[in-house]
Chain A
Amino acid sequence: MTSNLIETEGLTRRFGRLSAVDNLDLSVPQGSVYGFLGPNGAGKTTTIRMLLGLIRPTAGCVRLFGSPLKGNETTVLAKTGSLVEAPAIYPHLTGRENLEVIRRLRTATSAQVSHALAMVGLESAADRRAGAYSLGMIQRLGLAAALMTLPQLLILDEPTNGLDPAGIHEVRELIRRLPREYGMTVFVSSHLLGEVEQTATHIGIIQAGQLIFQGTPDGLRQRYQDHVTVKVDQPEAAQQALRLAGWQVAHNGNHTLRVVANGEADASLLASQLVGSGYSVYHVALEQPSLEDIFLQLTASPAAGGIR
């Protein structure tokens, strides 16, 4: 039993002077849905290509299923399904024939081809040429190819690209079902936290090639504390009083103070203390950042460098 299906150690890829991926230590637990997040150009696809052996790391190593990828590619890739960037298709072949190409390479069965088509809802269009497919249908075909053999590990690079809202919902549901129904571990990249927030059991955030967070969604929330915004008549004096009382306070200009707090109880206590000390309080608001807010803050600036 392997606890982590994907592990990387100091994984680095440089293109000339540019470090596309810099010293990445990923740990993807077995049975998890791991959301690999980052803005465009952060290094997600380069990382995925290294995980699949498509490009060689400049430094560091990749371990899949507990074995180094290098030297074990055939064994490891037999247990891995993937969809990298735009799905690879042969437009002159039908959808079913495209999957037949994969079937022959993976020595799967015809029943698995039909099952994969059914999983992504492409049965009715299976005998049409893939060149006439819409972007969403091509994406589904790519997913079917990745899922055909029900691999132990599924690596998906932005799988909802080109899908309409209904398609996005279906893919999300599919990803959620895979670990439960088939025991798969899913590694899915996206530049939108909202997209993986509902499915991911684990999250890794990459920014400018560096991993700036790795853990559970709850872990991410806990590392970003709530804030209370308070408007008072004497902000400088109120700030001083709160600091003496042990609060972490920032004066945001005008009459606004920003206080680090922990939930509604803290907000209530804070307001009571200020009023009790004789200050006029005319606005109290508890701000609990969503994961999306946290992600945007983390990845807003290239110089972000991690959680502060």
Chain B
Amino acid sequence: MNALGRALSAELLKTRRTLALLMTVLAPLIIAVLQFAMYIQGSEYHLNQVDRNPWLSLNQSSLIFWSLLMMPLFVTLETALLSGLEYDRKNWALLYTMPAPRWAFYGAKQVISLALIGISTVVMLGLVILLGLILQQINAGYGLSASTIPWAHMGKSYGLLYLASFLIVSIHLWVSSRWPNYVVAFGAGIAATVTTVLVFESEWARFFPWSMPGLLVLSIGGNTDLVMPVPLFLAIGIGGGLLVALLGGWNIARRDVL
């Protein structure tokens, strides 16, 4: 574990001044701006809702955009940028001549990837709350007053979404580490996102790792037609993520550095 700690410390320093760090704020901000535009544009629909807490609607639509569209691409970008730190100048050779087991370097990348996705999830949650408060200032008819924020529900939904994303983080980290080429990494991410949109309403969506966070959001929102129980989502997300991380680490550590 000492080796993992040292590798983590080095990995943390390497993220300084990188696009990967900046994107943890930019990606959620894009969704927040999009939501803001939609609420202003569709104010007739959103104003004066009485049948449901307006915060729940805002939260649910933000979660859908985040989980279905942004998160798969964002995970692709973050893992590709983290792996790119090493293969841009063939730095794997440098790391592997350090006195630490190879798995520690991959393990550190896995932890940092999860941390960056975690930061962006927290930022997304914060921006949704900020967005609601701004909309409330613009027009009190939105019903988004600070006193009605469902803190527990919102915190839980983002927390569960984050846990369900472990599997795709592990898959993309392995892809971007295995093939030292941004085209492969981004190609895989774009293909996965497009496929998610295509299969999302089909029976098969529940078996597709990239659509699972989105289905979990529906599950949290009470839609149970297409979805599985939340614990099963989490078991597949966390368990699958851990398994792919272990297999990925084993595969990368065994490879020759040419």
Contact = CB atoms under 8 A, between A and B. Distances in A.
Are A and B physically bound partners?
yes
A91 interface: yes
B91 A90 contact: yes
B258 interface: yes
A86 interface: yes
B97 A82 contact: yes
Give the dominant DSSP class at B's interface.
loop
Contacts of A101: 10, 13-14
21 contacts: A49-B93, A49-B256, A53-B96, A54-B93, A55-B258, A74-B3, A75-B99, A77-B97, A85-B90, A85-B93, A86-B89, A89-B89, A90-B14, A91-B89, A93-B14, A93-B16, A97-B13, A100-B13, A105-B10, A105-B100, A145-B94
Interface string A69-104: 000011101101010111011111100010011101
Nearest to B101: A74
Nearest to A13: B256
B52 interface: no
Interface of A: 49, 52-56, 73-75, 77-78, 80, 82, 84-86, 88-93, 97, 100-102, 104-107, 145
A110 to B, nearest CB: 13
A56 B256 contact: yes
B256 A54 contact: yes
B97 A55 contact: no
Given A77-B98, A93-B16, A104 B89 contact: no
B18 A92 contact: yes
A94 B206 CA distance: 46
B122 to A, nearest CB: 25
Interface string B247-258: 000000000111
A92 B257 contact: no
A105 B96 contact: no
B166 to A, nearest CB: 26
B7 interface: yes
Contact of B6 (A54, A55, A80, A107): A107
Contacts of B16: 92-93, 97
A280 B88 CA distance: 69
B9 interface: yes
Interface residues of B, number: 27
Contact of A49 (B13, B98, B257): B257
B93 A92 contact: no
A88 B89 contact: yes
Interface in B70-104: 85, 88-91, 93-101
A273 B90 CA distance: 64
Given A53-B96, A89-B89, 9 more contacts: A74-B99, A78-B99, A84-B97, A90-B14, A92-B16, A93-B13, A101-B10, A105-B6, A105-B100
Contacts of B18: 92
A92 B17 contact: yes
Contacts of A55: 256-258
A74 B94 CA distance: 14
A54 B93 CA distance: 7
Contacts of B97: 52-54, 77, 80, 82, 84
Those 8 A-B pairs whose CB atoms lie nearest each other, nearest first: A88-B94, A78-B99, A55-B256, A88-B91, A54-B257, A105-B98, A104-B10, A77-B99
Contacts of A97: 13, 16
Contacts of B17: 92-93
Contacts of A92: 16-18
A161 to B, nearest CB: 14
Contacts of A88: 89-91, 93-94
Contacts of A105: 6-7, 10, 95, 98-100
Interface in B177-206: none
A145 B54 CA distance: 57
Contact of B96 (A54, A80, A104): A54
Contacts of A102: 10, 94, 98
B217 to A, nearest CB: 35
A77 B102 CA distance: 12
Nearest to B85: A90
Contacts of B94: 84, 88, 102, 145
Contacts of B99: 73-75, 77-78, 105-106
A56 to B, nearest CB: 6
A92 B89 CA distance: 12
Interface in B209-249: none
A105 B95 CA distance: 8
A97 B101 CA distance: 22
Contacts of A73: 99, 101
A56 B16 CA distance: 33
Contacts of A84: 93-94, 97
Contacts of B100: 74, 105
A97 B16 CA distance: 10
Contacts of B93: 49, 54, 84-85, 88
Nearest to B98: A105
Contacts of B88: 91
